Amino acid sequence: MAQDPKSLQISSLLSQNPSTVVVVDGQIYEIPLNAEESTFLLVNLPAEFPEEPPVITVSPTGMRHPWIEGDVVMHDALPSWSQQSNLGLLVKEIRDEFSQRPPAKKNLNDTSPQQLPPKPEEGYRSRPPPPIPTASISTPTATATAVNPEYNAISKLSQEDMEELLQNETAFEIFFHSLERIKNLKNFQEDLRNGNEQLAHKNLSREDQLLKLKSEVEVLDNQYKLSKLEFEQKEKLQQEAFNRFSSATVLTRLKASVYESDELSESVAQSFLDGNLDNDSFVKQFREFRKVYHLRASKLERAQKDSLFVS
């Protein structure tokens, strides 16, 4: 499905300028220029775009550059703007120009232009200004109207109305807030405010759920700690049991039992020599102890020979 001319122009803007931020979809777009100085272009698409040219301004206000007049970017392609013009390439050319010759901030201490001669701007000093389009020479009013839509509203005022705006602050405020661009910005602010309010209500609606989940997590955490402590205790008991039946422990106990059997048989023999045992008792006890001794000694010898208890 073919895109309408406005969508094609917006697609060109986004593809030629990847860092573009959508402020109001289909109407206002922000393009960063210098992250350190927080400068950016603001592309405002009027309601009749692309029949009417875009309005491109620089923020913050008060920047100086041969292409900037009253915070509005004056590019030679804007007076001759048509539906066949390319918004993406136009903005890219402006970015390239401001990248090579960055706009400079106005000095707040500067006096009026009539009192001081113009000073060369840092970033583009000793460079010629961009060429002035011929269309702007022949039809300057049309150029100003195309670039700055507010000109139409002001040009329709009578001399008395203009004086009233200059002298009456209330009248000026009413006129100022009636401008289309101001209305769009106010609508944008209202949309942001409503969006933030909806997001806040959405977050607050989840408070009970989050508190419940927090309580469940605390219970699970306590269960985990108890289970971990129980596991560590059982692991300790298991290790102690393993130690009792380790190869070194079994071998040591086997050696001790061999020594014990030998000592018992020697004790019986000594008792017989001392006359404490008769012949039958001596033979019976001595043979039993020696039998156990030889069985244990045999097991010890086999274990050491076959390395049965070498870990």
Tokens of 102: 């960055």
Within a domain: 186: no
Looking at residue 277, what is its pLDDT?
A: 82
- What letter would DSSP give residue 278? -
- Average pLDDT score over residue span 100-108: 78
Residue type, 59: S
pLDDT at 71 over 70: yes
pLDDT at 11 over 90: yes
Give per-residue pLDDT as tens, 45-58. Answer: 998 898 999 999 99
Within a domain: 109: no
Statement to judge: residues 42 and 61 lie in one domain: yes
Statement to judge: residues 299 and 251 lie in one domain: yes
Statement to judge: residues 254 and 223 lie in one domain: no
Within a domain: 301: yes
Looking at residue 244, what is its pLDDT?
A: 75
Domain range enclosing 169? 150-181
Statement to judge: residues 252 and 235 lie in one domain: no
Q: How confident is the model at residue 142 (pLDDT cuts 50, 70, 90)?
A: very low
Mean pLDDT of the chain: 81
Residues with Cβ < 8 Å from 226, sequence gap 6 or more?
Answer: none
Q: Are 254 and 300 in contact (CB under 8 A)?
A: yes
Q: Are 39 and 33 in contact (CB under 8 A)?
A: yes
Tokens of 188: 């944008």
Looking at residue 109, what is its pLDDT?
A: 52
Give me the number of domains the chain comprises.
4
Looking at residue 266, what is its pLDDT?
A: 87
Within a domain: 94: yes
- The more confident residue out of 182 and 245 is 182
Q: Cα(85)–Cα(12) distance, rounded to whole angstroms?
A: 11
